[in-house]
Amino acid sequence: VSAPSGVRAPRAEGSPRTAGPQSLDELETPAAVVDPRLVAANARRAAEYARAHDLAWRPHTKSHKSRAVGRIQLEGGARGLTVATPREAEVMADVTDDVLLAYPPVGESKVARAVRVAGDVRLTVALDSEAALEALAAAAARQGVTVGVLVEMDVGMRRVGVQSAEEVRALAGRARALDGVEYRGVAFYPGHIRVHQDEQEQPLAELSARIGRLLDVLGSADLAPAVVSGGSTPTFWRSHEVVGVTEVRAGTLIFNDREQVAMGAADWADCAYSVLATVVSTAVAGQAVVDAGSKALSKEGRGAGGTFGALLDRPEVTVSGLSEEHGILDLSATSWRPTVGERVRIVPNHVCVSANLQDALWAWDGDHLERWEQEARGRGPWLPAPAR
């Protein structure tokens, strides 16, 4: 019987693959490019600031999902790493022995994976419910491991976190009483503070008062926290203004992006990540179209005036529109007129989401090109274990 037309037999295993690119020019676009010198400098600067204020920097690795970047953060002075998903926890446990899962593991599979990680490294989990706490404690006790617990309090973002110091006290007391878990402290995320760092005085003072009161309530119940985990990139350089904080989890600052520059948390020259793209059309006057669309840049537009990115070398040129595989460059603020085939590098609004859309990160120091895998991308327990 002949095969139906249009159907092709599967390729034999081991068919030749394209050799890896050696330089930026050889990369097929769109591709994520990072400058390893800036990545290392951003890590060092963050760790230095933290050290100067007696804080531990425990960066959130959701921004890069890559062991290579995790290692640079640790070499730069990070103390442990933060993760959000079981996959991130499993992968980052290969590069550090101290992992914070800053996300409640809910559901049997996620709890089992967290407990397995706790068998390998010191694991701490931030959570905000008795349901999450008890399931975690029971699974950990069954496996004969101990998982650290931070009780999460909402400080204004209205996402996760119990709503009062008294609720923190109750959950912390419960954690102390259960086998399988160890009460280690409290966590909060000041994600509601998204104004320029020069305008953060009042929200940070309010936050500090709130944390101060929390510490009083816990102290008088003999539940003084060993760890007070907070921090974000927009507030990073003012973290020391919040009373009692012991560690900060800022992650975005490893690469920075348009949004962080707008909030004064970074300079444009600190942006270590961009999406390399090729101009594919100049047919419509006043614009150029590149091959980086929403599937490379992401469609996040927070506070960026309806635009989705800007050129690294010409920040006045913005991405004014996106389809899945098309990005529209607005040429109204420049006399530059790109030609088809010309390449550009685009800094996205929110780097963490863009990085998660990539096959890999390409580290380019101006001389050498290296592929950095993002082993922590993806979710399910059925994903193959990443190669070491």
Contact flags string 252-281 toward ligand PLP, x per CB under 6 A: x-----------------------------
CB within 8 A of 230, min separation 6: which ones? 187, 188, 189, 190, 211, 239, 242, 245, 247, 248, 249
- The minimum distance between CB 127 and ligand PLP, in angstroms, equals 12
Q: Does 327 bind ligand PLP (CB under 6 A)?
A: no
Q: Does 189 bind ligand PLP (CB under 6 A)?
A: yes
End-to-end Cα separation, the chain, in angstroms: 45
Q: Taking a C-beta distance cutoff of 8 angstroms, is the pair 164, 214 a contact?
A: no
State the alpha helices, DSSP H only, in the chain.
Answer: 36-52, 67-76, 86-92, 108-118, 130-143, 165-177, 201-219, 258-262, 294-297, 351-355
Nearer to ligand PLP, 156 or 321 (CB): 156
Q: Select the span of 111-119, 250-258, 335-343, 368-376 touching ligand PLP (CB under 6 A).
A: 250-258
Among 251, 327, 338, 348, contact with ligand PLP (rule: CB under 6 A) = 251
Nearer to ligand PLP, 221 or 353 (CB): 353
Rounded (10°) angle between helices 67-76 and 36-52 = 40
Nearer to ligand PLP, 252 or 318 (CB): 252
- The minimum distance between CB 252 and ligand PLP, in angstroms, equals 4
Nearer to ligand PLP, 58 or 116 (CB): 58
Q: Does 124 bind ligand PLP (CB under 6 A)?
A: no
Nearest to 281 by CA among 326, 230, 217: 326
Length of the chain: 388
Among 56, 250, 280, 288, contact with ligand PLP (rule: CB under 6 A) = 250
Q: Taking a C-beta distance cutoff of 8 angstroms, is the pair 68, 380 a contact?
A: no
Rounded (10°) angle between helices 165-177 and 201-219 = 40
SS3 310: strand
CB within 8 A of 209, min separation 6: which ones? none
Q: Which of residues 224-243 bind ligand PLP (CB under 6 A)?
A: 232-233
Among 39, 92, 102, 376, contact with ligand PLP (rule: CB under 6 A) = 102
Q: Could you tell me how far CA 233 lies from the centroid of its own chain? A: 10
Nearer to ligand PLP, 239 or 252 (CB): 252
Q: Select the span of 112-120, 217-225, 249-257, 276-284 touching ligand PLP (CB under 6 A).
A: 249-257
CB within 8 A of 276, min separation 6: which ones? 24, 27, 29, 30, 31, 32, 33, 343, 344, 345, 362
Nearest to 232 by CA among 247, 213, 214, 222: 247
Q: Which of residues 159-178 bind ligand PLP (CB under 6 A)?
A: none
- The minimum distance between CB 233 and ligand PLP, in angstroms, equals 3
Q: Does 96 bind ligand PLP (CB under 6 A)?
A: no
Among 67, 184, 249, 377, contact with ligand PLP (rule: CB under 6 A) = 249
Q: Select the span of 10-18, 115-123, 135-143, 244-252 touching ligand PLP (CB under 6 A).
A: 244-252
Number of residues that bind ligand PLP (CB under 6 A): 10
Q: Does 60 bind ligand PLP (CB under 6 A)?
A: yes
Q: Take residue 149 and report the two structure tokens written for it.
A: 């617990």
Q: What distance in Å separates the CA atoms of residue 86 and residue 382, rounded to the nearest whole number?
A: 12
Residues at the site binding ligand PLP, with contacts judged by CB under 6 A:
60, 82, 102, 189, 232-233, 249-252
